[in-house]
Structure 1
Amino acid sequence: MTGNSGATPALRLGVLASGNGSNFQALAEAIQAGEIPNAEIGILIYNNPDALVRQRAERLGISTQLLNHRAYPRREDLDHDIVSCLKEAQVDWVVMAGWMRRVTEVLINTFPNRILNLHPSLLPSFPGIRAVEQALDYGVKVTGCTVHIVRLAVDSGPIVCQAAVPVQADDTAATLAERIHQQEHRILVEAVALVASGRVQVGEHRVRVLPTLPEN
């Protein structure tokens, strides 16, 4: 799937996903619709054999690869095979769109400052699992979602994009998660568009977004 027919090569993405895959689909459809004209998805890697994301990818004509994490004794072993698949697909950047596995230095060091992760909270608040439930338990009035650069510590990397979502008095984990999910679709597309345009500069602790260059 190619998102750019001009002279500049498209940014080639490898996507990692574990479940339903609606964030993956939102990104793939945005690319196919020309919303990110200088990007393409080279491969989807998924780790659960029954993950619905595989069906979404196949409908969109995107190559898939199952790497079942249960078959690997160590996280590093899984990441070695992930890296092999990403290299074979000639990937430039990696997007973790609902990837429910903690990654290791094997992957991070192969794509330094070139891995995006999507998390359902306004980081640095509520990192890790059950972020929506954490927000409700804490009683915050506003939560949201974040796209950030991956570091070895969970959900600790520099932030690229965020979106705020108000918490309603009658919210359950399910209703709040659904509204957060809608914003996840938007900011994932926004973050990839920024990266693909070359406007993202990643530092040790923060991301700088360069202004849009005027057209000639």
Structure 2
Amino acid sequence: MNGQKQKIAVCVSGGGTNLQAIIDKINDGTIKNTEISVVISNKPDAYALERAKKAGIDAVCIRPKDYENRDDFANTMVDTLKKHDIDLVVLAGYLVIVPVKMIHEYRNRIINIHPSLIPSHCGMGYYGLKVHESVLATGNKVTGATVHFVDEEADHGPIILQKAVKVHENDTPEILQKRVMEEAEWNILPEAIDLIGAGKVKVIDGIAHIEE
């Protein structure tokens, strides 16, 4: 980043537990060379916006349904990111299909956290508790979380980090969701942000490589 801090935007639809993990790990020095410039939500009542305000971070609500078409929504998203000089976009529980224009403008500069080991239990319709319900219905003994770069397909794109989490015999979707967040998501998302900020992640032929 040429000595300058990496500026990130965090996009969230709900409570923002992953956002809080990022804020905490910037504050304690786990994530270095990084600042959150803006938090964007598609829901005006998302608690993530409150978390941002409490941390002194710009908080913006951009709702797709407020725009006549996807192009206008895409333009507003891109304009907001450019206004804040964003280097990296972090999708942390963002339940909106990212506009193609935004993907093109920020190729290999948008990352997403997904609560399973991609390519299992992912794609259209797999979000929130639905992912963990699918894991339990399949009888998986191991699940986890994945951080990946975003491309034009849902829950697709070069994988940066993954962490496995054991499935226990008496798990409910809610219990499993909490364990995956605590053991995997809240650790590997901050780690990926730190690695990217340090310039250690390179995408070659569709594969993300991490410098040792």
TM-score greater than 0.5 by the shorter chain:
yes
SS at match of 1:208: strand
Task: Provide the residue aligned with 2:192 in structure 1.
Answer: 191
Q: TM (normalized to structure 2)?
A: 0.93
Alignment of 1:111 onto 2:112: no
Provide the residue aligned with 2:91 in structure 1: 96
| Partner secondary structure for residue 153 of structure 1 | coil
Distance in 2 of aligned mates of 1:38 and 1:86? 19
Matched with 1:148 is: 148
Give the CA deviation at 1:36.
1.8
Q: Alpha-carbon deviation of 1:134? A: 1.4
In the alignment, which of 27, 30, 35 is matched to residue 25 of structure 2?
Answer: 30
Percent of aligned pairs with the same amino acid: 38
CA distance in 1, matches of 2:69, 2:121: 26
Superposed CA RMSD: 1.4
| Residue 104 of structure 1: how far off its partner (Å) | 2.3
Partners of 2:200 and 2:89 lie apart in 1 by 17
What pairs with 1:41-52 in structure 2 (closer than 5 Å)? Answer: 41-52=36-47
Report the residue type matching 2:186 in the other structure: H
CA–CA separation in structure 1 for the residues paired with 2:106 and 2:173: 34
- Counterparts of 1:124-135 in structure 2, within 5 Å, are 124-128=119-123, 129=126, 130-135=130-135
- Report Cα offsets for 1:183-210 as digits up to 9, x if no partner: 2011101100110111000124211001
Deviating above 4 A after TM superposition, structure 1's stretches of 4 or more consecutive aligned residues are none
Over residues 12-34 of structure 1, what are the superposed CA-to-partner deviations in whole Å (9 max), with x where a residue is unaligned?
A: 10111110001001101211222
Matched residues in 1 for 2:67 and 2:122: separation? 25
- Find the aligned partners of 1:33 and 1:170 in 2 and give their Cα distance: 35
Q: State the SS of the aligned residue for 1:192.
A: helix
Identify which of 36, 57, 66 aligns with 1:62. 57
TM-score between both structures, scaled by the size of structure 1: 0.91
Classify the secondary structure of the residue corresponding to 2:152.
coil
Cα separation, partners in 2 of 1:170 and 1:75, compared to 1, 3 Å: farther
Q: How many residue pairs get matched?
A: 206
Structure scoring higher RCO (CA < 8 A, sep ≥ 6) equals 2
Please state whether the residue corresponding to 2:4 is helix, strand or coil: coil
1:13 is paired with a residue whose SS is strand
Alignment of 1:208 onto 2:209 = yes
Cα gap change, 1:78 to 1:43, in 2 (>3 Å): same
Write the distance in 2 (CA, Å) between the matches of 1:75 and 1:155. Answer: 20
Distance 1:85 1:179 in 2: 34
Paired with 2:71 and 2:27, the residues of 1 have a C-alpha distance of 33
| Local SS of the residue matching 2:111 | strand
Matched to 1:51, the amino acid is A
Structure 2, unpaired ranges of 5+: none
1:171 aligns with 2:171: yes
Distance in 2, Cα, partners of 1:29 & 1:77: 34
Q: Is the 8 A contact 1:48 1:69 kept in 2?
A: no
2:118 match: secondary structure: coil
CA contact (8 A) 1:144 1:180 kept: yes
